[in-house]
Chains A and B, each alone.
Chain A
């Protein structure tokens, strides 16, 4: 894609970008609502790792469709890759620490491969 290209494709790309941006912002809001309203640590972790990351991916897709330059797209792909790699790591660490410090009900884990805490 070239930088300036007025016409049909620009309109199509911008429209797609708007749809992606709104969907991504909505998913981010959904993650925020879940973060506030969900009852337990694991449930809150779910909202941060899943809807939040999908929302971010959608918003960055929208940005890529709007900016339309390959160097920017390469960096945005990098952002998505980092997010997809680091988010499970953080969730894994937080979940394990939560279990070890007694913030996770062992009944919630099926199968419970940790055994009893402590």
Chain B
């Protein structure tokens, strides 16, 4: 009974970690990634708890304490330094796009940076689910 429960719980937690990783990859903004990495840390705590559940060892429990203490620092730091991102900046680019950008290096990067200060504030209005405005 214990073995079956541990295997089932491990599978569920592994799938949850994968889904969090999917969100880390997809973005679309830095804050979404911060939130997803937070979720990944908590999922890791759960995974270590499952391992301790199976082996009945208590040596790994201090790791849980440390992880839960420092786990939130990442998202708090990223939130503290969050800045407006131009549309498309937070996306992971495909190799073709990277090659295309390498080809027209004539476009100075400073122009795109400049937009982020004075540009329209609803840079993510195209975001999935963002209400029409």
Contact = CB atoms under 8 A, between A and B. Distances in A.
B46 A117 contact: no
Contacts of B76: 89-90, 93-94
A107 B132 CA distance: 11
Given A56-B42, A59-B50, A90-B38, A40 B127 contact: yes
B65 A63 contact: no
The size bracket of the interface on B is 35 or more
A97 B31 CA distance: 8
A102 B79 contact: no
Contacts of B15: 29, 32
A52 B42 contact: yes
A79 B64 contact: yes
Contact of B20 (A32, A82, A102, A103): A32
Interface of B: 1-2, 5-6, 8-10, 12-13, 15-20, 22-23, 29, 31-32, 34-36, 38-39, 42-43, 45-46, 49-50, 52-53, 56, 58, 61-62, 64-65, 68-69, 71-72, 75-76, 78-80, 82-85, 121-124, 127-131, 133
30 contacts: A21-B5, A22-B9, A26-B12, A28-B16, A28-B46, A32-B39, A33-B16, A35-B35, A40-B130, A41-B32, A44-B23, A45-B35, A48-B35, A56-B42, A56-B45, A62-B53, A67-B58, A76-B61, A78-B65, A82-B65, A83-B68, A90-B38, A93-B76, A94-B34, A94-B35, A94-B78, A98-B29, A101-B31, A102-B121, A103-B127
